[in-house]
Structure 1
Amino acid sequence: MKTILWKKGTLMPLMLLLAACDDFAGEAPSAQSGQLRWALDHTILATKATEEVPDTNDFILTVRDAGGATLYKGPYGDSPEVLDVPEGYYTVGIVSDAFYSPAFSKPQYGDEQVVRVPAGQSVTVKLKCTLQNAGIRLRTGQDFLEAYPDGILYVKQADAKLKYLYRETRIAYVKPGDVSVLLYRDSSSDFETLFTRSIEAREILTVSISAPKGSGNGKSSITVQTDTSRSWVSENFTIGQGGDQGGGTLSVGEAASHIGEKGVWVAGYIVGGDLTSAGKTVKTEGITKNTHLALADRSSITDKASCLAVELPSGKVRQALNLVDHPELIGKRVKVKGDLVDKYFGTVGLKSTASYEMP
């Protein structure tokens, strides 16, 4: 269950833009207090083995003051766009998911920054989520399989163990620090520690294990060969990247810096429609117009200035995405491809929308 917490009196009306969209002007802070905003850098450092793009809307954001009091804790997608706060220091942190013990397919992304907010000023915290945990991948040679057909490998860290089957191909994610690999030969033996390694955050360690015949005694000895090439920092990916977008997918906040470009992919959350040139907010229910929709970097945004107005031309795109026929799409993530313009319903727009993709 999602938990959303903010201190009474700190939430302002949603009239400021997500910090990544600095091209738009927001309401100025008062002389007695400052404003705290945040945005995600949508380029996330990842490993080659990462197959699924994290949904940043579900990341857990925490904002604390210098005394440790929590101003907000909850999903990033539900967070306010701005907090009106007294002058002082604040800690802004974000994490993709909790991580406690060795587990498969569970990379943890996050960042934490401490900033000072002066009175009368607005401060933006730009969070860059990088891999916070580490991983280990085991490769067992055929000679090892023949020598220990009934054996079982385990990845151990502290008191927690994770069974690692011989044919396993996934990465076992662990906390940075010492990690051991154990061999359980059979029911007549105890666990045997094959090796212990110390690995750092963002490091994926690949270890090949073999058991060549021992010389002179007819027994097998275990050989461990470590691939010392660090696969972390090996490649970057962009949130929402995929399909035929070529140069990558932009966030809604990044779109304002690419006005005039054609055939651009933009990813975000459908937040509503029925836009007007003079209106300041997005209608979120009872949509009556099927010709456009509003896209934002977070599903909680309703300020038009923080959104991208997306044209839905007659045809398959309108049939699939219009909110008159599909009100259930509000809050859903989508990628759309079209031409970026500086004004469409009074905000940055995407026109001649030709394609779309949904997770």
Structure 2
Amino acid sequence: MRRNILKAAGCILFAALWACNGLKIVPGPNGTLIVDVAVETPFGVRTRSASLDNYVFLLIKQGGDTLYNSTVEAITGSALSLEPGYYVIEVFNETFTVPAFDKPYYYCRDTAAVVGGESCKVFLVCKQVNAGVRVVFSEAFSVQHASYSINISGTGGSLNYDSTSEDRWGYFFPGQINLTLTADGSSSDPVERQIQEKYMYTFLVEESGGTQDNVEPVITVSVDTTRSWITSLWNDTGGTVRGLTKETAYTIAQASTLEGGLNDIWVCGYIVGCYSSNGSFLYEGSNSATNLALADTNSYIEKPMSYPVELPLGAIRDALNVVDHPDYIHTKVWIKGKTNASYFGLPGMKSPKEYSW
């Protein structure tokens, strides 16, 4: 008899615990809720990104009670039995409360109406709701100053950028940020900028400030996520510059005006030859596998109108060199790499990372 009573008590306790998760069977017909979640990390951003399975899943009943606090993995493929009513679903990768490096914040929210005896299906797409910022210091600026950094402050806090953080993205809440440049112990007046969610901003710090402002923001779409990629001078509040994407690649004439030391810049031009080891320009030459000569035209040019691109040992050299591929002469190509102030006596590019036809 005692064992039966304990069993009955255990069943009551189990039912109570089950009810706390919002999955109990109650008098009257329940409805079922099926949730599917998707997220897409945009191409090209080096960040620490948790698996979608580890995203936090919250199910909140109308009135504010959290019925379910788990992970996307735990609810995937499950039909949740719920009392009829309205429920708020929230999914996010991790909490984001202050500016931080390597913390893109993906979030989605929807409301589901559960009807007794029926099945409700909800599909959510998590999208980035903070803004990414990185700072690139040109080679000329780095040589000119022994010490330098930029402090960027925004809602909730600030981040400090220096020569060690050029490959890192910091993330901020949308809205106003203030940039303060410090070089050799002297600080500039703060510069105000406005940033938007899903935008990825690269701020260039140059000694002369000579980069031209001549291109509209480019929208890069990757499946369900849209991001706008913008490069601009850190203290230029009026616009943006080209070169961050293939679609906004610099022409050879434009690329030849850039300072050295700018990372991840796209240029486009016709392959018109190569250069000898002593720096002589070889129009239509296919004598060297270590470099390319690009130009804005595939007609005859002199050396000053050409743009040298280094081809270091590896896959890009194998793919592009004119010794193995002489038929590439007069073919247009897009290449991303690091600008160099003087390569064979001309502005050019070294350390290429990507190419496209």
- TM-score of the superposed pair, with normalisation by structure 1: 0.50
Within a 5 Å distance, the mapping from 1:20-31 to structure 2 comes to none
Partner Cα distance (1:173, 1:121) in 2:
42
1:143 to partner: Cα distance: 3.1
Contact between 1:48 and 1:235, CA under 8 Å: does it hold in 2? no
Partner Cα distance (1:156, 1:224) in 2:
26
Aligned to 1:106: 103
Q: Does 1:196 align with 2:192?
A: yes
1:202 maps to a residue whose letter is K
Give a deviation string over 1:261-295, Cα, whole Å, max 9, x none: xxxxxxxxxxxxxxxxxxxxxxxxxxxxxxxxxxx
Contact between 1:133 and 1:173, CA under 8 Å: does it hold in 2? yes
> Aligned match of 2:169 in 171, 175, 193?
171
Within a 5 Å distance, the mapping from 1:249-328 to structure 2 comes to none
Return closer, same or farther for 1:224/1:210 CA change in 2, 3 Å cut-off: farther
Contact between 2:23 and 2:82, CA under 8 Å: does it hold in 1? no
SS in 2 for 1:78: helix
Partner Cα distance (1:197, 1:156) in 2:
10
1:131 to partner: Cα distance: 1.4
Q: How many residues align?
A: 207
Partner Cα distance (1:161, 1:103) in 2:
8
Give a deviation string over 1:310-354, Cα, whole Å, max 9, x none: xxxxxxxxxxxxxxxxxxxxxxxxxxxxxxxxxxxxxxxxxxxxx
Contact between 1:151 and 1:186, CA under 8 Å: does it hold in 2? yes
Contact between 2:46 and 2:168, CA under 8 Å: does it hold in 1? no
Within a 5 Å distance, the mapping from 1:135-214 to structure 2 comes to 135-158=132-155, 160-167=157-164, 168-187=166-185, 189=186, 192-193=189-190, 195-212=191-208
| Greater relative contact order (Cα < 8 A, sep 6+) | 1
Contact between 1:61 and 1:73, CA under 8 Å: does it hold in 2? yes
1:237 to partner: Cα distance: 8.7
> Aligned match of 1:59 in 25, 48, 55?
55
1:229 to partner: Cα distance: 2.5
Return closer, same or farther for 1:166/1:93 CA change in 2, 3 Å cut-off: same
1:115 to partner: Cα distance: 1.8
Aligned to 2:124: 127
Contact between 1:152 and 1:165, CA under 8 Å: does it hold in 2? yes
Within a 5 Å distance, the mapping from 1:15-94 to structure 2 comes to 32-41=29-38, 44-50=40-46, 54-79=50-75, 81-94=78-91
1:204 to partner: Cα distance: 0.4
Contact between 1:135 and 1:205, CA under 8 Å: does it hold in 2? yes
> Aligned match of 1:229 in 207, 217, 231?
217
Partner Cα distance (1:227, 1:207) in 2:
15
SS in 1 for 2:159: strand
Within a 5 Å distance, the mapping from 1:340-359 to structure 2 comes to none
Contact between 2:88 and 2:109, CA under 8 Å: does it hold in 1? yes
2:169 maps to a residue whose letter is I
Return closer, same or farther for 1:237/1:121 CA change in 2, 3 Å cut-off: closer
Contact between 1:36 and 1:83, CA under 8 Å: does it hold in 2? yes
Return closer, same or farther for 1:72/1:127 CA change in 2, 3 Å cut-off: same
Higher helix proportion (structure 1 or 2): 2
Q: Which runs of 5+ in 2 are unaligned?
A: 1-16, 226-357
Return closer, same or farther for 1:6/1:95 CA change in 2, 3 Å cut-off: farther
1:177 maps to a residue whose letter is G
1:95 to partner: Cα distance: 0.2
SS in 2 for 1:234: strand
SS in 2 for 1:129: strand
Percent sequence identity over aligned pairs: 23
Contact between 1:184 and 1:192, CA under 8 Å: does it hold in 2? no
1:68 maps to a residue whose letter is G
Return closer, same or farther for 1:151/1:192 CA change in 2, 3 Å cut-off: farther
Contact between 1:66 and 1:90, CA under 8 Å: does it hold in 2? yes
Partner Cα distance (1:178, 1:226) in 2:
23
1:31 to partner: Cα distance: 5.7
- TM-score of the superposed pair, with normalisation by structure 2: 0.50
2:23 maps to a residue whose letter is L
